[in-house]
């Protein structure tokens, strides 16, 4: 019985120690989330409006003006960018993003994989570890795994520029990005978005004229496209990274909060178990004493 009590005491101490760690991790993630959330909240409306403008411009080009980034061609070579976190302990967040990328690789681009024309570029260690292990037959670009160490626009632009250059030189005919879209601290949505070529403007039935904007180009369409389109695409890619960064901290804060609550419930259960064991030990000792006294009297 004494051994049982000791074991329960040790478990209570162990769970409380773990609870302190999860509580501290929750506080750290909450602090980081505020900063990450502010960054994506500020950028998202700007990036979304620029993206709408980009699709509208490319849908209204006339004459000889054109850009490679808006031109769709037969899909022979595919590049999938997978944006995950460097660390775990954030629930199913990384798993969901990886599953989204894994799904399109096995279904939508199964032919390209079979022909050896599927490329993965991984940002974040979790995605890199998975695709390195499960897609050894595909080319894996891992130069930007540690991109989250510095999410400045200049640093992130290195990746988007590489994807744009690869698309221009026809190393890839389509570029897809799997990332975690941040909705709020408790909700992160794994999505796959087509980065290149720029998807055509979606015009709903009955609003063909209203959906198109009449732009006046200064100095001319070609000069503007050369500078505007790459800049908008770089901003769009920055949004993918900031979305994922905020999603990671939101998921980790939620996961650590739940772990802390579960630890509290576990401690309560162990304390009840401990008290029961003590009562049983006391009852057993009393029974022995009473039995001994009765034997002496007899």
Q: pLDDT tens-digit profile of 118-165?
A: 999 999 999 999 999 999 999 999 999 999 999 999 999 999 999 999
Catalytic residue among 90, 122, 138, 241: 90
Strands in 145-293 per DSSP E: 174-184, 187-196
Question: Strand 174-184 and strand 78-83: pairing?
Answer: parallel
Q: How far apart are CA 282 and CA 275, in angstroms?
A: 10
Q: Who has greater pLDDT, 60 or 32?
A: 32
Nearest alpha-carbon partner for 120 in 111, 104, 107, 47: 104
The confidence score (pLDDT) of residue 211 equals 52
- pLDDT tens for each residue of 43-76: 999 998 988 888 877 766 654 445 788 888 999 9
The confidence score (pLDDT) of residue 61 equals 65
Average pLDDT, the chain: 88
User: Phi then psi for 81, rounded to 5 degrees?
Assistant: -95, 125
The confidence score (pLDDT) of residue 286 equals 78
Rounded average pLDDT over 276-280: 81
User: Domain boundaries in the chain?
Assistant: 2-24+256-292, 34-254
The confidence score (pLDDT) of residue 282 equals 79
The confidence score (pLDDT) of residue 172 equals 96
ω into 39 cis (within 30 of 0):
no
The confidence score (pLDDT) of residue 208 equals 53
Confidence band for 203, pLDDT divided at 50, 70 and 90: low
Nearest alpha-carbon partner for 179 in 85, 255, 253, 103: 85
Is the pLDDT at 40 greater than 70? The verdict is: yes
ω into 206 cis (within 30 of 0):
no
Tell me the pTM.
0.85
CATH superfamily ID and name for 34-254: ATP synthase, F1 complex, gamma subunit (3.40.1380.10)
Q: Are 255 and 87 in contact (CB under 8 A)?
A: no
- CATH fold, domain 2-24+256-292, is Helix Hairpins (1.10.287)
The confidence score (pLDDT) of residue 71 equals 85
90: annotated active-site residue = yes
- pLDDT tens for each residue of 223-263: 777 788 899 999 999 999 999 999 999 999 999 999 999 99
Is the pLDDT at 8 greater than 90? The verdict is: no
Confidence band for 214, pLDDT divided at 50, 70 and 90: low
Confidence band for 93, pLDDT divided at 50, 70 and 90: very high
**Total residues found in the chain within this entry:** 298
Rounded average pLDDT over 18-46: 94
């Amino acid at each position: 019985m004494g051994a049982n009590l000791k074991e329960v005491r040790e478990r209570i101490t162990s769970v409380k120690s773990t609870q302190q760690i999860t509580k501290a991790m929750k506080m750290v993630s909450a602090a980081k989330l505020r900063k990450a959330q502010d960054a994506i909240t500020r950028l998202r409306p700007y990036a979304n409006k620029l993206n709408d403008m980009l699709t509208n411009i490319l849908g209204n080009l006339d004459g000889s003006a054109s850009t490679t980034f808006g031109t769709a061609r037969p899909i022979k070579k595919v590049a999938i960018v997978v944006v995950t976190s460097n660390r775990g302990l954030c629930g199913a967040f990384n798993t969901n993003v990886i599953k989204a990328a894994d799904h399109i690789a096995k279904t939508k681009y199964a032919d390209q994989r079979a022909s050896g024309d599927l490329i993965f570029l991984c940002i974040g260690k979790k995605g890199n570890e998975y695709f390195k292990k499960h897609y050894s037959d595909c080319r894996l670009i891992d130069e930007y795994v540690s991109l989250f160490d510095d999410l400045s626009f200049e640093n992130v632009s290195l990746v988007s520029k590489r994807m744009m250059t690869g698309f221009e030189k026809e190393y890839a005919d389509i570029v897809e990005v799997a990332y975690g879209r941040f909705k709020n601290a408790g909700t992160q949505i794994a999505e796959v978005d087509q980065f290149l070529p720029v998807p055509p403007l979606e015009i709903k039935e009955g609003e063909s004229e209203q959906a198109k904007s009449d732009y006046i180009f200064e100095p001319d369409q070609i000069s503007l496209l050369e500078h505007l389109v790459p800049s908008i695409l770089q901003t769009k890619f920055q949004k993918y990274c900031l979305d994922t960064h905020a999603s990671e901290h939101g998921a980790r804060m939620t996961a650590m909060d739940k772990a802390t609550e579960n630890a509290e419930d576990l401690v309560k259960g162990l304390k009840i178990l401990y008290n029961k064991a003590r009562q049983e030990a006391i009852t057993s000792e009393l029974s022995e004493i009473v039995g001994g006294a009765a034997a002496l009297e007899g």
